[in-house]
Amino acid sequence: MQQSIRADFTLPGEAGYEQLTLDLARRWGADVIRDSDGTHLSPEITSAGYRVYSTICIIRQHNEFASAHPDAQQQTFLSSDPVTAVSDTLTIHPLDGYFTEQFELNDSAEALPYWQVWDRTENTLLPRDAWSYQDGTVTISNCRPWHRYTVSFLCWRIWEEINMYNHTTNSWTSEHLRQLDPRHPLAWEYLKQWLERWCCENPETNVVRLTSLFYNFVWIFGSDVRRKSRFVDWASYDFTVSPAALHAFEAEYGYALTAEDFIHLGKLQATHRPPTRAKLDYMSFTQRFVAEKAKALVDIIHAHGKQAYVFYDDSWVGMEPYGKHFTSIGFDGLIKCVFSGFECRLCAGVDVPVHELRFHPYLFPVGLGGLPTFMDGGHSEKDAMDYWLHVRRALARKCVDRIGLGGYLHLTEGFPAFVDTITEISDQFRAIKALHTNGAPAVLPLTVGVLHVWGALRSWTLSGHFHETSNHVLIHVLEALSGLPVNVRFLSFDDVIGGGLQDVDVLLNAGQAGDAWSGGEVWQHPSLIAEITRFVYEGGHLIGIDEPSAVHGLDTCLALAHLFGVDLDNGEYACHIPFDVETVPAPFDIPESFGIRKTNVRLIQPDTDVWMAQGGIPQFTHHAFGKGHALYMSGFTYSPLNAHMFLQTLIHLTGISQTSTGTSDHPEIETAWFPADRTMIVMNDADHPICTEVTCPAGRASVELAPFELKFVTIC
Amino acid sequence: MQQSIRADFTLPGEAGYEQLTLDLARRWGADVIRDSDGTHLSPEITSAGYRVYSTICIIRQHNEFASAHPDAQQQTFLSSDPVTAVSDTLTIHPLDGYFTEQFELNDSAEALPYWQVWDRTENTLLPRDAWSYQDGTVTISNCRPWHRYTVSFLCWRIWEEINMYNHTTNSWTSEHLRQLDPRHPLAWEYLKQWLERWCCENPETNVVRLTSLFYNFVWIFGSDVRRKSRFVDWASYDFTVSPAALHAFEAEYGYALTAEDFIHLGKLQATHRPPTRAKLDYMSFTQRFVAEKAKALVDIIHAHGKQAYVFYDDSWVGMEPYGKHFTSIGFDGLIKCVFSGFECRLCAGVDVPVHELRFHPYLFPVGLGGLPTFMDGGHSEKDAMDYWLHVRRALARKCVDRIGLGGYLHLTEGFPAFVDTITEISDQFRAIKALHTNGAPAVLPLTVGVLHVWGALRSWTLSGHFHETSNHVLIHVLEALSGLPVNVRFLSFDDVIGGGLQDVDVLLNAGQAGDAWSGGEVWQHPSLIAEITRFVYEGGHLIGIDEPSAVHGLDTCLALAHLFGVDLDNGEYACHIPFDVETVPAPFDIPESFGIRKTNVRLIQPDTDVWMAQGGIPQFTHHAFGKGHALYMSGFTYSPLNAHMFLQTLIHLTGISQTSTGTSDHPEIETAWFPADRTMIVMNDADHPICTEVTCPAGRASVELAPFELKFVTIC
């Protein structure tokens, strides 16, 4: 292991703890000191010779302006919970069930025309004269008894969501911060002037760390203590809406959006579901707006000789680092908070000069789900190592430029093991980064195409962190892929139709029926099915997991069932007797825990190899079709062992040799071979010591690794 | 226990075993001796003073006629398995994958116009000139590469299915029996004359036991040894079809049926799935035809002074004992083979003079699934007792007139325990029947309405025996209800719309999304949802099990979710956080094994009581709505304990007292109270002895029961 050097590490400093700040900066090898939400840096820190990041949340530090211009606040559409009519008159209080410290009805003259009342029993929109509104109440006269009604309405968001989260999680008592909408002309002029002034007043700042831009991801709180948070979607656009945005959209696109384009049967349009055409248009529209406004802010920052880094979280919506407009903004760096390998690849893959990871745990008393972190009972050092194991293998494949932490530095005082762990992690990071400087690690000549509704726009992500999406099988696959020596591309269904399979060796579709990852109704397009059928017949390979290509209206549940040789039975096969299932040995080890999920898989082609079954139900199958092969897996759960199995799957399908990238003889030991340095990173992903042999094009070596240890093995 | 008397028992006699026949007739108290498929009665038996049933399968004993008139054989539509085109020409051999000893292409001039070729990738019908047929092969020119194609075709059924089953199961080697279609004019005249002659030649026969009428339930064999039986549906009509039937239908209904009305995306229209309008019309059409022809046969039998009983199985299709035309046929008796209580109620409820049950096991070497019965390793006495426990509790609620057995009597010789068990069962049966003669048992003032697509037409059944349908939750519920002291009605969705809820206290919907028992698309009718909402609000009660009222296109997965207070999440609730689940004590014991099935139930109304949860997922919930209540159960598995729980559920919902019907203090002891005799049937459903107290309006008594014992307790 190399010695700590002062580089590539961003330390959260804290006024009042100057000595601690400088001590830890030294121990962790920091070259940058930053402030955080709730802390600031004293002159003693900012003048200590470190570069300085200053955190700005551009839209939320302006309560005085917001009070003077309440119509400059941000908004959203919401739907009331359905109410059943038990007579021919019904009154609905739209905000019942919502957190009234977050929302306030917008019944202004420009907002009310966007309100709608729906009969949800027959799903029909009521004509405007069928209901009236007064003083916060909607009254429906002559409604149909026993039908259910909802009101869709615009409302102001009167508490910035991250501030609200910090208040409710950490018992903050300070004033609730409001947020401004940059679409409001006065607010926009005010924000630019504010930033200009801020830059003048903070000459010690080298990097403005924007946390982040304008519109928060969707986070809707409720009034019921049993469901404080009603809805969270890290990648949805509902919080960007306003009458001004709707008018501008209509002017540009030639058609008007309605409340139902957002409310969508009361479910909203979550990122995990296939979007409507209107939602896609609205997203494009918003992305252009956000990029244009963000560029104006970055220009101000640059004019002051500072750099602009953006934190890819919180109010990131519309920024889309893999979208068309991102590079036009001109950011100097992108900072991503990470728990997982896929997040590391997400950050590393963006076209921006500097990629930085902010590690977890955040220096807060409580962490995920309200569990203690830097409190009695917390195990911050274990958390840090656990996340690092996920991130490390991804960094071995594609590195970032910097790492760092955030939060209250003084909380580390009672946790010396945490301080040691971060020392170890930051040293490992710098050593990994150094290896990448002389050339990338060897990669198999094999490209996996991950196929879903969003395609490249949402490369390496679903919606938020692993723990928020762990019930979606694709995130487990992405986590596995993030550390494997293969090329990965993300394809939309339009990409496939447009010839996108030409550079793909293994096409992957993994999701639940009807979701954005499986694809939903898009599978009703015969040309899509035909193109993938051609692809496999001519020698491409296909992996389907869970409910891949599931759709209604065809003669099979899976549109690609004829390739997989298996289909799913949701009752449609009633009275049809399945083939007897006989397993044959798989060509590689399939761990029992690979991720079995299903009880309704059935063979439809008897020449399908069943590599694993449970209770007579196929769980892992292989089917040859033409020159290609199709694998079906009923599920997949990320673990180092299962990631190893996934790699074996890819190698078996394509028939290529793994020699060029280096291998280990033990499935829990991962390797990355850097030809330029003739050096191999050897990582023990297990919590027990392992002795094994590793092999690379340059030769073979014995390695002995402590639990979780990483070693660099140079073979000359 | 009463002594054996000679009554109400039908014994299968066997020529060559005359002494055995007469011995067992005495021991089991037989008053009737019958022949079976494969056995006959000698004069020594028929002249012994017993009434005689003679078994006739009217359509299958005429191979000579069938050979002379092959166009008089029965037919069906089949679909080829889909074949993927890999160039612009494709040939399909329609019968590939089917058992060619059962099927033969019907490419006659009248059949070919009904053939269809489908592009199943885009689900479009090919124009007739896009394909050609010659010598058993369909050729599609200019097809679309990578699309899948199927051929729908008519074929002859050249082996009567029950004979085919007996051959393949019991290694019979005799000539394959063919079957005639009574729609064929020559065949119909022949069959009538044949029956006339048969009646003349068999003066000793008292009862002609028709096994059964004309058209077998659908049973399609395949060519693959791993799937010998491809499709079995006990209640479908596919085997009634022919060009003659299709022409007659078109003439009567004014529209033509096509192959696709039967093939239905290759899935056929199984009874477990909601029927199309065309299928319902075709069923009505066929029912009238079958009733008309059956009446003609019964008239011949009656003219000879004999009675006509019909066996409700095998070629029963179109007879529909709960249909409109059944009584017009004039049968003197209905014989139902039974494993279960619901089958007993099915038989007992039909409007016919004599109801008879044919018990299992059938006297065959092998039984269900090829397991030994009357062979080494068989436990025929255990099988008999197991089935009897199911049937007994149903008979205690509603009795039949007779019981009996079938098969090869000599097989009993090595199984004295079986002979003893049947002696015991027949004595118990006669004692139960005797109690019913003085008046019915007390029933709670409570009517359960079982709601599904078929309504009363398919009272007390799904499609076949319990073991054939045990993955459908409703059969478990019917089995429980068959022995409970409540009134049961079967309602279709049209019945509900037409005011059918007025006499119902508890409405029940139990099934899988999209199936005939849950209902499928019918739940898109707002008037149906509104009517049930009204019913509950005004004091009716609702029980939903598994995926009740599940439908696409509404804002909830369950159309009645607002009543249940819970909904199912198939991905549509992505990003919506559920309410925290807190269980409250249920007002009665819920066995752990009641039938938990689901991982995707979520509360949508926080005022819903969760009586049982698993892994944080509600499994058994209660929700008040207006004056009524709605219960949701994620599953239900029949067992005596769970049947007891189901009764407690009904009593709790309706708030009525159980006193009037008698109760026991032990959940595994079931009772039936006969007020006229002041006698209670007390049944131990368990395999262990139980001492308990029983209570009825006349008082209370202690009872001690051996395993499976039945006692009659008279309280004066």
Domains of chain B, with CATH numbers? 61-170+218-306 (2.60.40.10), 447-654 (3.40.50.880), 660-714 (2.60.40.1180)
| pLDDT at residue A37 in the model | 85
What is chain A's mean pLDDT, rounded? 96
- Given A122, A273, A531, which is nearest B574 (Cβ)? A273
pLDDT digits (tens, 9 = 90+) for A436-478: 999 999 999 999 999 999 999 999 999 999 999 999 999 999 9
Backbone angles phi, psi at A487, to 5 degrees: -85, 145
Does B314 participate in catalysis according to the annotation? yes
Asked if B121's CB is within 8 angstroms of A526's CB, the reply is yes
- Nearest-neighbour CA in chain A from B227: distance (Å): 5
Cα atoms in the Cβ-side hemisphere of radius 13 Å centred on A347 = 30
Among all residues of chain B, which has the CA nearest to that of A597?
B599
* The model's pTM: 0.96
Omega cis (within 30) before A82: no
Query: Inter-chain contact A576–B230, Cβ cutoff 8 Å?
Result: yes
Q: Which of A553, A570, A575 sits opposite B270 (nearest CB)?
A: A575
Contact B24, B11 (CB under 8 A): yes
Substitution target from A555, A557, A584 for chain B, most B beta carbons within 10 A = A555
Of A512, A530, A579, the CB nearest to B224: A579
Mutation choice for A interface testing from B531, B575, B603, B609 by most A CBs within 10 A: B575
CB atoms within 10 A of CB B47: 11
Residues of chain B positioned with their CB less than 8 A from the CB of A146: 529-531, 533-534, 537
Q: What is the DSSP string of A98-110?
A: B-TTTEEE--STT
Residues 6+ positions from A582 with CB-CB distance below 8 Å: A610, B226
Decide: B399 and B433 in contact? Cβ < 8 Å: yes
Chain B closest CA to A142's CA: distance in Å? 15
Residues B466 and B674 sit within 8 Å (Cβ to Cβ): no
Question: Could you give phi then psi for residue B78, rounded to 5 degrees?
Answer: -135, 160
Q: Give B89-107 as a 3 state SS string.
A: EEEECCCCCECCCCEEECC
Q: Look at residue A2 and tell me whether its pLDDT is greater than 80.
A: no
Q: How far apart are CA B127 and CA B578, in angstroms?
A: 51
Q: Which two tokens stand for residue B592?
A: 């752990």
Judge whether residue A369 has pLDDT over 80: no
Mean of pLDDT values over A547-576: 97
Residue numbers in A near B227 (CB within 8 A): 577-580, 606
Cite the DSSP H helix spans in A149-237: 161-170, 185-201
Q: Retrieve residue A622's tokens.
A: 């292989």
The CB-side HSE value for A637 (13 A sphere, CA atoms) comes to: 9
Q: Which residues of B touch A273 (CB under 8 A)?
A: 571-572, 574
Choosing from B8, B238, B313, B314, the catalytic residue is B314
Test mutation, B529, B531, B555, chain A, max A CBs within 10 A = B555
Chain A residues within 8 A of B229 when measuring between CB atoms: 577
**Contact state of A526 with B120 under an 8 Å Cβ cutoff:** no
Q: Would the pLDDT of A4 be above 70? A: no
Taking contacts as CB-CB distances below 8 angstroms, the residues of chain B near A145 are 530, 534
User: What pLDDT is stored for residue A3 in this prediction?
Assistant: 47
B43-47: long-range contacts, CB 8 A cutoff, minimum separation 24? B44/B18, B45/B13, B45/B15, B45/B18, B45/B21, B46/B204, B47/B204
Instruction: Report the gap between the CA of A638 and the closest CA in chain B (Å).
Output: 21
Q: What is the pLDDT of residue B4?
A: 52
Cβ contacts (< 8 Å) between A537 and chain B: which residues?
A: 84, 86, 146
CA A659 to chain centroid, in Å, comes to: 33
**CA A451 from centroid of its chain's CA atoms:** 16
Which of A515, A577, A606 is closest, CB to CB, to B571?
A: A515
Cβ(B33)–Cβ(B151) below 8 Å: no
- Using CA atoms, how far apart are residues A338 and A425, in angstroms rounded to an integer? 14
- Does B572 sit within 8 Å of A267, measured CB to CB? yes
Are B571 and A266 in contact (CB < 8 Å)? Answer: no
Helix (H, G, I), strand (E, B) or coil at B546: strand
CA–CA min distance A383, chain B (Å): 25
Of B147, B265, B552, the CB nearest to A526: B147
Are the CB atoms for B708 and B385 separated by under 8 Å?
yes
How many residue pairs bridge chain A and chain B with CB atoms within 8 Å of each other? 167
**Quick one: closest CA in B to A146, which residue?**
B530
Residue in A with minimal Cα distance to B463 = A575
Tokens of B41: 């009665």
Q: Is A376 exposed, middle or buried (0-12, 13-18, 19+ CB in 10 A)?
A: exposed
Give the minimum alpha-carbon distance from A270 to chain B in angstroms, rounded to a whole number: 6
Residues in contact with A476: Cβ distance below 8 Å, sequence separation at least 6, in sequence order: A470, A595, A636, A637, A638, A642
Report the chain A residue with the minimal C-alpha distance to residue B605.
A81
Please give the C-alpha separations between residue B598 and each of A21, A590, B231, B616, B618, in angstroms, as whole numbers.
52, 27, 27, 11, 9
Report chain A residues whose CB lies below 8 A from the CB of B554: 120, 123, 265
Which of A226, A512, A526 lies closest to B579 in CB terms?
A: A226
Give the one of A218, A533, A577 whose C-beta lies nearest to B227's C-beta: A577
Contact A152, A115 (CB under 8 A): yes
Query: What residues of A are annotated to the active site?
Result: 314
Q: Which residues of A touch B218 (CB under 8 A)?
A: 575
- Given a contact cutoff of 8 angstroms between Cβ atoms, the answer to whether A681 and A483 are in contact is no
Pairing mode, if any, of strands B628-633 and B541-546? Answer: parallel
Give A515's contacts in chain B (Cβ within 8 Å).
571, 574
**pLDDT band for position A370 (cuts 50, 70, 90):** confident
Q: Which residues of A touch B267 (CB under 8 A)?
A: 555, 572-573, 576
Å from A232 to nearest chain B CA? 5
Cβ–Cβ gap A574/B270 under 8 Å: yes
Report CA-CA distances (Å) from B684 to B390, B675, B700, B710: 12, 21, 17, 6
Chain A residue nearest residue B565, CA to CA: A82
| pLDDT, averaged in runs of 10, over chain B (716 residues) | 71 97 96 93 95 96 96 98 97 98 97 98 97 98 97 98 87 91 98 98 97 96 95 98 98 98 97 98 98 98 98 96 98 98 98 98 85 91 96 98 97 95 96 96 97 98 94 97 98 98 97 98 98 98 98 97 98 96 96 91 97 96 98 97 97 91 93 96 96 92 96 91
